[in-house]
Structure 1
Amino acid sequence: MKKENEANAKEAVLLLAHGTPDVLGEMEEYLRLVIGGRGVPPQVVHELQERYAAIGLRNTPSIAGPHLTRWPMRQAGRLRERMDCPVYVGMRNGSRSSATSSMTLGRSGSKI
Structure 2
Amino acid sequence: MLRFTEEHEWLKIEGDTAVVGITSHAAEQLGDLVFVELPAVGASFSKGDNAATVESVKAASDVYCPLDGEIVAVNEAITADPSLVNSAPQGDGWFFKLKLKNPADADGLLDDAAYKELVG
Q: Shorter-chain-normalised TM-score: which range? A: under 0.3
TM-score when scaled to structure 2?
A: 0.23
| Structure with higher RCO (Cα < 8 A, 6+ apart) | 1
Bigger proportion of residues as helix = 1
Higher strand share: 2
